[in-house]
A and B are shown apart, each in its own frame.
Chain A
Amino acid sequence: MAASHSDAGPETTTDSEDAVSLRDVRKTYYLGEPVHALDGVSLSIHRGSYTAVMGPSGSGKSTLLNLIGCLDTASEGQVFVNGKEVSALSERDRTRVRGDEIGFVFQTFNLMPKLTAAENVALPLVFQGVSRSKRKSHAESVLDEVGLGDRTGHRPNELSGGQRQRVAIARALVTDPAIILADEPTGNLDSETGRQIMGLFQRLHDEGNTILMVTHERHIAEHAERVIHVLDGTIERIEEIESPRRVEIEAF
């Protein structure tokens, strides 16, 4: 799998500082009449940055996330992930980039109900063809990192909401992705658990991970260094947070 990373070719590379960049991206749905979900968005997300995307529902923030996450393709414009232009890739290669370079964290956790925590975390490695023993040890070490080293054999229904989201975060981390995409990661959690999850993201950011988080809550967005406000398919403004909110990190 690793050999295929050169598939995209060197001529499509962009600024190597960028984990993700978008150039004049449009996404149009045809539902009777054309709907411009994204209407000319250009954006760069630097490596190691912590960005929040805010906007009302229907503003296009989900579409933006889907495009960066290689779940969808732009109608026009270019999307680069870790230097590769994903809009030009075949579905197969796009899936490969998604598996290797993107880590998803969802509001509803989206864990496989019949798999244990460790198996859930190891799932992306299954599709990369990593051997069973390596998957196991790697998944366990990442679970340990997010404070669930003693829950590796538990199934999602045996875990609390916060624990489930930490499993999901571990799964996002396990492939060492270029960017972690978090879609309302605290939306289904009580505020104290949400605070702990934000603390975890903060630590991941401190460790050098690139994070893009979609949220509609101002106080959650303020944990990021930068907030992108999206409205009607365009970037309304980009707000730099001078001193991002910090969670006092307690030991897990």
Chain B
Amino acid sequence: MEFLESVRLSWRAIRSHKLRSVLTTLGIIIGVGAVITFVTLGASLQADILGQVGAERTPNVYVWSGPEGQNAGPGAGAQPVFTERDLTELRNVAGVSAVVPRGIVPTAAVSSGGDTVAQRQVIATSPASFDSATFVSGRAFEQGEREVVLNEQAARLFESQATVGDEVTLRLASGESADAEVVGLLNSSSGGGPFEGFDSQPLVFVPTDPFYDTTIESPATGETQRVYPTVTVVANDFGAVAEVQESVRAYLADESDAASLAPGDYEFSVRTDQDLVDQLEELLDTLTNFVTGIAVISLVVGSIGIANIMLVSVTERTREIGIMKAVGAQNRDVLQLFLLEAVMLGVLGAVAGTPVGVLGAYAAAEYIGLSLVFPLEWFAIAVGVGVLVGVLAGLYPAWNAARTDPIDALRYE
């Protein structure tokens, strides 16, 4: 029997039960629609977040020490373990262009021009942590000077918009006060890097000398030195990143002060930008897969609907099957007819479900404020799924139809 003739006959069978076919297809439309909505949303969310994170990829390696096995964000649970001596040693590692320490100076508030705003901490770091391109005005602070750098969000905290040249007073948590001069303003989009989180919050940067005074006796040299919870190691170029990452790991594991200072169940995290992006991606993938998994359940329910209606249809048309067999239809012909009917329902559902899913994703993205990214391959997959669902759901009913005994079928009322 010609394939085209099967298509014609199956299509006629579908059309002769319009309401039933529409309802059956609706199950698949909802299933495919739900899957496409969530997959599209997941891809859009991923693109959105990774776009924020990965926009400026740097050859940086972020180093901190945290509780073993934790999988939280960069710097989570970090304890001050990296001494000045460690920093010096790390600077000597091949391929390293800079080592930037980062510590927290606990504060109560920051005042400028008679206006005092609460600020729980300022970030102590070295001038190398700034990229000159991110300055709106002014320059980086210098070590040993009483100077601060603010980002625009921090500058805006003050009624009179802090600008370069202003005096600020840091109210330290210890109760003391320290005066400093604003020497630079960072643009609002430059965050503090992964340790500060990627959202734009007010940030105040100070040089480690003289503001950072968390110190400890270096186990290696016996001198009392500043000690930092997190360190950024900047490689010469992207090509050197992997090597630097390895060398840093090796140094930390072995001879570092950090190794002896870190609590026993702590481990070092030495992550590149790419590692952080990968980790984030993995997290988002898990989330997307989970939600898509739920959507797939509705697709399964839809295909059970097809299987069910096909079984009914086969029973209803027992006599027709008998007639076809009596006039020479092979089992294969009957199988083909019913299987095709199921596949057509599946494909119809998938094809109609795709725009429904896109529409759903569009509405959700509008609501959340995401820009949509369409994973185009999923549209092909949706149609493929329609065929697959049709075949799976139709196989048993069609097989049932094919093996119908024509004698019984012709007698069937």
Contact = CB atoms under 8 A, between A and B. Distances in A.
Interface in A60-99: 66, 69, 71-72, 91-92, 95-96, 98-99
Given A110-B410, A114-B12, A114-B16, A69 B326 contact: yes
Given A71-B407, A72-B407, A114-B12, A96 B5 contact: no
A104 interface: yes
Contacts, number: 62
Interface stretch (A3-11, A120-128, A219-227, A243-251): A120-128
Contacts of B312: none
A127 B324 CA distance: 9
B150 to A, nearest CB: 79
Contact of B2 (A69, A71, A95, A129): A129
Interface stretch (B128-136, B234-242, B327-335): B327-335
Contacts of A69: 326
Interface residues of B, number: 22
B333 A111 contact: no
B327 A99 contact: yes
B323 A126 contact: no
Nearest to B8: A132
Interface in B344-381: none
A185 B320 CA distance: 19
Interface string A46-71: 00000000000000000000100101
B323 A111 contact: yes
B319 interface: yes
A96 B328 contact: yes
B109 interface: no
Interface string B302-330: 00000000000000000110111111111
Nearest to A95: B330
A132 B331 contact: no
Contacts of B13: 114
B325 A123 contact: no
A112 to B, nearest CB: 6
B28 to A, nearest CB: 24
A124 B319 contact: no
Given A110-B319, A110-B322, A112-B320, A124 B328 contact: yes
B153 to A, nearest CB: 72
A168 to B, nearest CB: 10
B138 interface: no
B202 interface: no
Given A71-B406, A110-B410, A126 B1 contact: yes
A185 to B, nearest CB: 14
Contact of A106 (B5, B12, B324, B410): B410
Contact of B324 (A96, A114, A123, A175): A123
A129 B1 contact: yes
Given A112-B320, A127-B1, A99 B406 contact: no
15 contacts: A91-B331, A92-B331, A95-B329, A98-B325, A98-B326, A99-B327, A100-B328, A110-B326, A112-B323, A114-B13, A123-B327, A126-B2, A126-B5, A127-B333, A128-B328
